[in-house]
A and B are shown apart, each in its own frame.
Chain A
Amino acid sequence: AQSVSQHNHHVILSEAASLELGCNYSYGGTVNLFWYVQYPGQHLQLLLKYFSGDPLVKGIKGFEAEFIKSKFSFNLRKPSVQWSDTAEYFCAVAYGGSQGNLIFGKGTKLSVKP
């Protein structure tokens, strides 16, 4: 079955630390890849997406992600986190041929200490 794995359940960082959140997906051919963020009490917002082309994707708020096809990975990175980045981060995959419905990872909660 198609699945998405996020390696870390909860990450705690201090402000200015670098961030990398792991995401792996099961093989399924062509994929579109996404990272969403959910701030406390809010809806999911799209951080960035990858459809094709340059595997290094830049998103909003200084986030970026790298698609490594051979590793089935799409890790999220940010060089220097801020307290306002405290949120839950979800990796999601739309498999080619699907109607666009996303398969989500379980999410990684990021807590940034001021």
Chain B
Amino acid sequence: DSGVTQTPKHLITATGQRVTLRCSPRSGDLSVYWYQQSLDQGLQFLIQYYNGEERAKGNILERFSAQQFPDLHSELNLSSLELGDSALYFCASSVSGRGGGYTFGSGTRLTVV
């Protein structure tokens, strides 16, 4: 157990639907990162939050959005889902949000059918 908790572990949904992935960071960590892992693209950085505020944005589609709540948990919302959105979505957390060394959660496997 890494201390970063992601739910659900698996999600199967239909095209056009909307889903929400949840991440609870390790205790004491203020920064949350979201990554997408797919076979063709590898691990792609989506977005980072630090203490409730958006810090950095990567290759995140407009159909995707995220937020970090006052209790520091984060949610990634994926809407108008397409087959190509099927992937493993990882959350990671760190104390400072700088430097890059952080702890990953176990991921949510999203399958869009």
Contacts and interface: CB of A to CB of B under 8 A. Distances in A.
B45 A94 contact: no
A100 B43 contact: no
B48 A44 contact: no
Q: Determine the main DSSP class of B at the interface with A.
A: strand
Contacts, number: 69
Interface in B50-88: 50, 55-56, 58
A43 interface: yes
A99 B99 CA distance: 7
Q: Determine the main DSSP class of A at the interface with B.
A: strand
A100 B106 contact: no
A46 B101 CA distance: 8
Interface of A: 32, 34, 36, 42-46, 49, 51, 90, 92-94, 98-107
B24 interface: no
B45 A101 contact: yes
Given A44-B90, A101-B56, A49 B101 contact: yes
Closest 4 CB pairs of A and B: A94-B100, A104-B43, A99-B56, A44-B104
